[in-house]
Chain A
Amino acid sequence: MDLRETTKRLINAFGVSGDEFRVAEIAADLMRPFVDRTEIDQFGNVTGYRLCGRVGAPKLLIDAHIDQIGFMVTEVTEQGFLRFVAMGVDQRMLQSLELVVLTRSGTIPGVVCAIPAHQQKSGEEKKVLGPDDLVVDLGMSGETARKTVRVGDYMVFADPAVDVQGDTLCGKAIDDRSCLVSILHALELIKGKDVNCDILALASTKEELGGHGAMGCAYTHNPDLAIALDVCHARTPDNCPADTVFEMGKGPVVVIGSNSRPRVARRVLEIARAKEIPHQVKAVPGSSGTNAWSMQLAREGVQTLILSIPVKYMHTPAEMICMKDVENTGRLLSEICLAYDAGLREGQ
């Protein structure tokens, strides 16, 4: 499997929290060669089942979310402009932003307007305008716009993925579809091998809203261990000293804390060292901001572990990830699958 091309296929697709079905189809398609069967539930969560055939085998759930951040149309004006809400998007990048509007009959381009210079009152040049002060231009008359776009239609960043230097890929929705690629790579690496657990690969929905999809699936599947894969922050030039950031290219980040079971995590570090997989470590005392936070409270509680991949410029159209990190995260996951037994489960 070409990891870069697979990542591009996923991140170029459109699926904002609440309507991930297009991406779910692609995820199921990608999982199929490596699992016994796939299921897509009513929300668009995709589960791939790889059963080991042993009665009473422990169940390992590995999750990445497939929803991306985006926008929603709240009004189509008489002159054909769109008013909108932005979900998870820094308002400092809005002016002149290029979007794709997901209408019922297909995708159309839109551009968030930029307020002309002669409109700027002096002293306001640095003021940031939020969604309430901006509109999306479709290049259409009001009549056509109202026939084409409806309130509730989603909008997403338009730019397709591009290769940049340093084994790096730049695009939207790297958070978190790149982590799904790591899961696929892990499944690829263990294909045909004997494991001691049932593996459930999960491509979940609505993470950006609070981990809803994964929580429901954790309830349904009731795993012995749920591993949430999500991206973390890579160092960028505009970081503050206080920001917790990691280096791209130095491997997956193993999280340790109340939401990522310390004994299990330390065992994972031992595996990483033994198998010479580059890795980094992150201390997270409370909420991890990942699906692990909601999955941990499913049913009567689920043990959770978190692995992350460092990503620059998260939640912008120009997120960046190092493909070697995607590969090494897949490798680490595959080793966890191979090692997973009662011992790892209890973190002994």
Chain B
Amino acid sequence: MRELLKDLCELDGVSGFEDEVCLFIKRRILPFVDHVNVDALGNLLAFKKGRKPRVRPCIVSAHMDEVGFLVKGFTDKGELTIVPVGAIDPRVVVGRRVRIGDKRIPGAIGLKAIHLTTEEERSIAPGFDQLHIDIGAPTKDDAEGLVRVADPVTFDSRFIPMGEGCVKAKALDDRAGCAVMITMLEAELEYDTWFAFTTNGEIGYRGASVVARRLDPGVCIVLDGTAAGDLPEVDPHLHGTGLRKGAALSFMDRGTIYSRRLVKSLTEAATDRGIRWQYKQMVSDLTDASTLERGASGAQTITLSVPVRNIRSASSIICLSDLDELSKLAVLAIREAGDCDV
């Protein structure tokens, strides 16, 4: 799965501009699915028959988009002003390389020399309204000839192996989820299942809602990245999840409470089979789950995650063994969802 994950992470797909990712996934899964289409919001929907039918649809979902920026405008001297896409902490973007638009014009988010700052200045993080992208263009005209207002901007971060079985890349949230789904599609399924590669996840999980309205699912299994705060500076009860502890799942997120039946049966089945999993011990995020639940007549939901350090930054880190466990857990979840006669 590592090669697939590398290919996925190196694609550019800021919320609203997921085409490149959508096209890659569509081409990749086409030989393995019975039906595929892209809807009005850019969601990629694929249906694959399994050995058994379901009474109501079961959807597995992951979002294709990543955090990034849009070009807001130009300064008089040819630098670019930016607006963030998704909940990026401005403190993780200073000094980072970026690439802009289809032509992947290289640039950097600069910060003036330390020699010109005061101690007071250095204690306050600049916000996005004070940060600029420099592409080296000598004048505003030069810059306007190469990039346009509203061009998407992605972090320029290579996918590299790290340490023991880890990888560093951008967009691990949620290309990791996409990688798991593609891998599931390439194998035989126990039950008929829908796979939704959704858009606009980072800006409010909007893509998922129209998917639910279209399919009126009984059960939705969301695969996502979740923040791993297992750092020495963080109190242990606030870690959330940790690397090398397996796939993460929870009873709830900030949008909804998951199906208690499903959480119980899945955790028991996972333990029986020796799949490594951990509870996500903080209620801190949203996922596609609540939008999928409320899309049509109501669905049972659950979110399964891979722990990600430095989530929503250029340098996210996951442990590949955790991703493998997520894969196994997801396959098990499809079975535990049963015929979705809910």
Contacts and interface: CB of A to CB of B under 8 A. Distances in A.
A315 to B, nearest CB: 5
Secondary structure at the B interface, as helix, strand, loop or mixed, is: loop
Contacts of B315: 96-98, 111, 114
Contacts of A240: 116
A98 to B, nearest CB: 5
B137 A314 contact: no
Interface in B299-321: 309-315, 317, 319
Contacts of B109: 318
A224 B208 CA distance: 74
B110 A144 contact: no
A220 interface: no
A165 interface: yes
Most buried by A among B132, B137, B163, B165: B163
Contact of B132 (A140, A238, A289): A238
A104 interface: no
Secondary structure at the A interface, as helix, strand, loop or mixed, is: loop
B229 A109 contact: no
B238 A90 contact: no
Interface in A66-117: 77, 79-81, 88-93, 95-98, 108-109, 111, 113-117
Nearest to B312: A117
Nearest to A313: B110
B167 to A, nearest CB: 8
Contacts of B227: 116-118
B37 interface: no
A113 B309 contact: yes
Interface stretch (B21-29, B87-95, B181-189, B198-206): B87-95
A93 B163 contact: no
A312 interface: yes
A248 B138 CA distance: 8
Nearest to A144: B164
Contacts of B112: 233, 236, 238-239, 243, 313
Query: Interface range on chain B: under 10, 10 to 19, 20 to 34, or 35 or more?
Result: 35 or more
Interface stretch (B4-12, B52-60, B121-129, B268-276): B121-129
A237 B108 contact: no
A294 B145 CA distance: 46
A159 interface: yes
B115 interface: yes
A235 interface: yes
B91 A114 contact: yes
Given A96-B310, A165-B142, A79 B232 contact: yes
B168 interface: yes
Nearest to B131: A238
A313 B130 contact: no
A163 B116 contact: no
A113 to B, nearest CB: 5
Query: Interface range on chain A: under 10, 10 to 19, 20 to 34, or 35 or more?
Result: 35 or more
A12 interface: no
Contacts of B87: 117
A141 B244 CA distance: 9
A342 interface: no
Interface string B96-110: 110000000111111
B125 to A, nearest CB: 5
Contacts of A316: 94-95, 110-111, 113
Interface string A120-140: 100001111100011101111
A165 B91 CA distance: 26
A145 to B, nearest CB: 8
Contact of B136 (A120, A129, A141, A164): A164
A162 B116 CA distance: 25
Contact of B89 (A114, A139, A313): A114
B265 interface: no
A348 interface: no
Contact of B110 (A125, A248, A320): A320
Contacts of A97: 95, 315
Given A233-B116, A237-B77, A314-B113, A91 B122 contact: yes
Contact of B111 (A81, A88, A93, A159): A93
A217 interface: no
B282 to A, nearest CB: 6
Most buried by A among B113, B136, B315: B113
A314 B107 CA distance: 16
A102 B120 CA distance: 32
Contacts of A347: none
Given A81-B232, A128-B124, A166-B142, A313 B108 contact: yes
Contact of B97 (A89, A114, A289, A318): A318
Given A238-B130, A318-B109, A119 B234 contact: yes
B245 to A, nearest CB: 13
A118 B282 contact: yes
Given A98-B168, A135-B232, A128 B313 contact: no
Most buried by A among B89, B117, B132, B167: B89
9 contacts: A79-B232, A92-B91, A92-B94, A111-B168, A128-B123, A164-B135, A168-B136, A239-B116, A316-B95
Interface of B: 75, 77, 79, 87, 89, 91-92, 94-97, 105-117, 122-127, 130, 132, 134-138, 142-143, 146, 157, 160, 162-168, 227-234, 238, 240, 243-244, 282, 284-285, 309-315, 317, 319
| A-B residue pairs, 4 tightest by C-beta | A139-B163, A139-B166, A164-B136, A318-B108
